[in-house]
Amino acid sequence: MPAFISVIAYIAQQTIESINEYTIQKGLAYCRLLENHMQAIRFTYFIQQEEVDESEKSESSVGDALQLETVYLLHGKFTYLINEDSLDMIIISHVQLPIAISDCPASSLIPLFIGKTITFPSITTIGICISVCVTEYLRKGERPINEIVITHPSNGRLAKSITAAQKNATVQFTGILTIHEKLSTPGRRSRPESVT
């Protein structure tokens, strides 16, 4: 059950390598979050080798290499790298935005998760909470599973649906991703939390 994200970011570093008939672009992008914090994003993008007629190209790009010091709306699968405080993202598609890096807007991280509930909903002082087990993007030999806590206002329009969720139910949710860095054991950080 994958985790997807959409984010506005600019490309700061990149390398391009060819393996067999594939061209792979890897690099580092930055997203400006609210309150002027920066979120590092380590990305991988598979550049398509197909010839595309220039008259058929649209604003949305799948296949063009990402350019340095350019702002994009990126869509893809992701995981959170706890030790590096960065997102690791496999970019599926992107749209180049006609703005300068200095004008890159602050925006929230907007993930889309599909997962299984591991607890029954509970009502707390911050709203309705439910824990969901999410398998992030899949790479060969790697299957990281994270526990995500979804919170929703008790009087919100989805409160009735959330409180009806059963344990082990499959749910799809989206919202603003908030990463809490509480130390659960010495030297280890807790996992991300999603707030809807």
**Final residue in a domain of this structure, among 83, 103, 123:** 103
Q: What is the pTM of this model?
A: 0.73
Q: What is the pLDDT of residue 185?
A: 40
CA distance 78 to 109: 11
Q: What is the pLDDT of residue 179?
A: 73
Q: Looking at the structure, tell me whether residues 93 and 7 fall in a common domain.
A: yes
Q: Looking at the structure, tell me whether residues 7 and 87 fall in a common domain.
A: yes
Q: Looking at the structure, tell me whether residues 92 and 117 fall in a common domain.
A: no
Query: For residue 7, what is the domain's CATH number?
Result: 2.40.50.140
Q: Looking at the structure, tell me whether residues 82 and 11 fall in a common domain.
A: yes
Instruction: Note whether 130 and 148 are within 8 A (CB).
Output: no
Q: Looking at the structure, tell me whether residues 135 and 154 fall in a common domain.
A: yes
Tokens of 27: 């690099």
Tell me the pairing of strands 145-152 and 193-195.
parallel
CA distance 116 to 167: 8
Q: Looking at the structure, tell me whether residues 64 and 138 fall in a common domain.
A: no
Q: Looking at the structure, tell me whether residues 10 and 92 fall in a common domain.
A: yes
Q: Looking at the structure, tell me whether residues 114 and 99 fall in a common domain.
A: no
Domain extent, residue 39, equals 3-48+57-103
Q: What is the pLDDT of residue 137?
A: 55
CA distance 84 to 42: 10
Task: Give the CA distances from residue 69 to residues 27, 28, 65, in Å, rounded to whole numbers and listed in that order.
Answer: 12, 11, 13
Q: What is the pLDDT of residue 50?
A: 59
Q: What is the pLDDT along the chain (196 residues), one digit of tens a residue?
A: 468 899 999 999 999 988 887 889 999 999 998 887 889 999 999 887 655 555 555 555 555 789 999 999 999 988 877 667 788 899 999 999 999 998 989 988 888 888 888 888 888 888 888 888 887 654 555 555 677 888 888 888 888 888 888 888 888 888 888 776 544 444 433 444 444 4
Q: Looking at the structure, tell me whether residues 167 and 131 fall in a common domain.
A: yes
Count: domains in the chain: 2
Q: What is the pLDDT of residue 91?
A: 93
Q: Looking at the structure, tell me whether residues 170 and 153 fall in a common domain.
A: yes
Q: Looking at the structure, tell me whether residues 14 and 39 fall in a common domain.
A: yes
Beta-bridge mates of residue 6: 75, 110
Amino acid at 59: E
Q: Looking at the structure, tell me whether residues 121 and 179 fall in a common domain.
A: yes
